[in-house]
Structure 1
Amino acid sequence: MKDRTTLHAWLMLSPALLLLVAFTHYPAVATLWHALFSTPRANRPARFVGLDNFRFLAEDPIFWQALWNNLVYAVATIPISVGLALLMALWVNGKLKGRTALRMAYFTPTVLPMIAVANLWLFFFTPDYGLLDRATQFLFGWGPTNWLGSHETALGAMIVVAVWKEAGFFMIFYLAALQAIPPVLLEAAAVEGASRARILWRVVLPLLGPTTLFILVNAVINAFRLVDHIIVMTRGGPDNATALLLTYIYELGFRFWDTASASAMTVVLLAILATVAAVQFLVVERRTHYQ
């Protein structure tokens, strides 16, 4: 009977396992394999070059610029989007008029395709007659600003777009977790004389730990994955100011057809994501309280 149950469980899991192997594990192993070979040409097959592709990356200044940009992008978007999502969830979870409409307003950016979001924000960032320039000229008297064409502001503009797109998505998870907290716990803390701030810090936030861990993992992945708006709005410019690892992988692999270097950079990206995920699960999860 036990063997039959085990077989039945494996049969139920097999479709998901096949998809996971076919579209996740096999591509990762194949990418690592291709990173050890040169780029095949029409009259020259790929040949084994070992770690030469990784040495090329170590000597490539654009790679280091893209890596630095991606770190800045991640460090900015992750805490801001997660913190903003928590604040929005706490607000719309309360008893206020029109909270359904407010929830929809917060969640609307999430359902929009990133290409549509990029074109929408192009209107905001357009110099002189864009909405942002019009507002700054009216309020502060600033002159026209080339938000996407300036090395100082381009990456910040991309961060704003990413936060606007992601915060509403994370808010939904926080809102569901807040509604799952037993009211008796909050009532007991209030009876004991705890202030609202102390209830939030000592009761609500610890109970939101599993949700926060899940959101952090997704936020880290999105910080290295969501680049559609950058390709549409700046294409990594100006002067690689908004180039991220994934945009540079796209450039190398599909524009310059240097699949070997693109594979090597993909391996580096996978290693970064695996390391960050391991730290999150080994360190953050130990401090996470499960009900």
Structure 2
Amino acid sequence: MQLGLRHVQAYLLLLPAFVFLVGFTHYPAVGTLIDSLMSTPRAGRAAVFVGLDNYAVMIDDPTFWKSLRNNFWFAVVTIPVSIALSIGMALWVNDKIAGRQFLRLSYFLPTVLPMIAVANIWIFFYTPGYGLINQVIQLFGGHGQNWLGDPNLVLGSVIVVAIWKEAGFFMIFYLAALQTLSPSYKEAAQIEGASAWYFFRRVQWPLLMPTTIFVLVNALINAFRMVDHIIVMTKGGPDNASSLLLFYLYEVGFKFWDQGYASALTAVLLALLALIGLFQFFVLDRRTHYR
């Protein structure tokens, strides 16, 4: 009897979280999947079942494929570069160096800035003619570029902004993980005459893999949910050269008011994230050493 009451108490404690999980995660996901199979309701015309028509439109949509390709390269560049920089910064500020607290604050500062503010700061940096980056280039005899107006440069420009903002955030997790490692590892490596690179590759990096899995999941989500600084800086242009998948979904849903097609885009985005997440947890996670 007492055990049964404890079970009831446990489920009651879980009930609020369960209600929020169903109401704000599972129910919207199922609703989106259903809406992706329906037409967009209009004034005087209710939504009707259209099957896979929205997905057929997606297959023939060049803007969708361009946004997906842009998002692929955005993720391929931002994720490894952000992680590499964050590890490097964490290793540096973990050592006993002068001004360590100031360096930690400087690296983490971009993380606490709102993305809208960050985007406006970088718009000034990228402005043709008098922007800070072009001023530095011209100071050394180079020619300024239209960073946000050139289709060949715009995606790389927004990638730099994303890396600048995310690297400091990921550094905090790596710094916390490094501080949990026993100092005896480093002492033993120094006694054996191991180089700093060998010590990192053979000792620190394997022990940091649980943190890396966590950071990878967050970096992946960030790469596919990036929309705010695209809206402020480029609006997907020029010629959709900086359009990412979530930005295109936003345009379809809130600019063109095509609910059915936007729901299909959302379903595809969720499926992509689920597949990559399963790969991370069932392939990478099995190769990870947990102490």
Give the TM-score, by structure 1 length.
0.97
Matched, 1:6 2:24: no
Deviation at 1:26, TM superposition (A): 1.1
Deviation at 1:251, TM superposition (A): 0.4
Q: Aligned to 1:43, what secondary structure does the other structure show?
A: coil
Match of 1:210 in 2: 210
Preserved CA contact (<8 Å) 2:82 2:163: yes
Matches within 5 A, 1:103-252: 103-139=104-140, 141-252=141-252
Matched, 1:265 2:251: no
Matches within 5 A, 1:63-78: 63-78=64-79
Alpha-carbon distance in structure 2 between the residues aligned to 1:191 and 1:8: 55
Deviation at 1:186, TM superposition (A): 2.4
Deviation at 1:23, TM superposition (A): 1.2
Alpha-carbon distance in structure 1 between the residues aligned to 2:230 and 2:183: 43
List, as ranges, runs of 4+ consecutive aligned residues in structure 1 with deviation greater than 4 Å.
Answer: none
Matched, 1:22 2:51: no
Deviation at 1:17, TM superposition (A): 2.0
Deviation at 1:84, TM superposition (A): 0.4
Q: Aligned to 2:10, what secondary structure does the other structure show?
A: helix
Moved more, 105-114 or 187-196: 187-196
Alpha-carbon distance in structure 1 between the residues aligned to 2:17 and 2:172: 26
Match of 1:85 in 2: 86
Deviation at 1:22, TM superposition (A): 1.3
Deviation at 1:16, TM superposition (A): 1.9
Match of 1:46 in 2: 47
Alpha-carbon distance in structure 2 between the residues aligned to 1:82 and 1:158: 17
Deviation at 1:25, TM superposition (A): 1.2
Deviation at 1:190, TM superposition (A): 2.8
Aligned length: 290
Cα RMSD of the aligned pairs, angstroms, is 1.1
Match of 1:94 in 2: 95
Alpha-carbon distance in structure 2 between the residues aligned to 1:15 and 1:191: 54
Alpha-carbon distance in structure 1 between the residues aligned to 2:285 and 2:5: 35
Give me the identity figure in percent. 60
Give the TM-score, by structure 2 length.
0.97
Unpaired segments ≥5 residues, structure 1: none
Preserved CA contact (<8 Å) 2:111 2:166: yes
Q: Could you tell me which amino acid in structure 1 is paired with residue 27 of structure 2?
A: Y
